[in-house]
Amino acid sequence: MFKEFKEFALKGPVFDLAVGVIIGAAFSKIIDSLVKDIIMPIVGMFGSADFSNYFLPLSKAVTATNLIDAQKQGPVLAWGSFVTYSVNFLIIAFILFFMVRAMNAMKRSMANEAPAPAKPAAPNASEVLLTEIRDLLAKKPA
Model confidence, pTM: 0.51
- pLDDT mean by block of 10 residues, the chain; 142 residues: 53 73 76 76 68 83 87 88 80 82 86 74 88 88 70
- For residue 12, what pLDDT is reported? 64
Query: Which CATH number belongs to the domain containing residue 109 in this structure?
Result: 1.10.1200
- For residue 48, what pLDDT is reported? 61
Inter-residue long-range contacts of 16-21, CB under 8 Å, 24+ positions, other chains counted = 16/100, 16/103, 19/96, 19/99, 19/100, 19/103, 20/96
Its domain, for residue 66, covers 2-139
8 Å CB contact between 51 and 40: yes
What CA–CA distance (Å, rounded) separates 73 from 90? Answer: 32
Helices (H), the chain: 2-9, 13-33, 40-43, 67-73, 79-112, 125-139
The total number of structural domains that make up the chain = 1
CA 71 to chain centre: 36
- For residue 86, what pLDDT is reported? 82
- For residue 6, what pLDDT is reported? 55
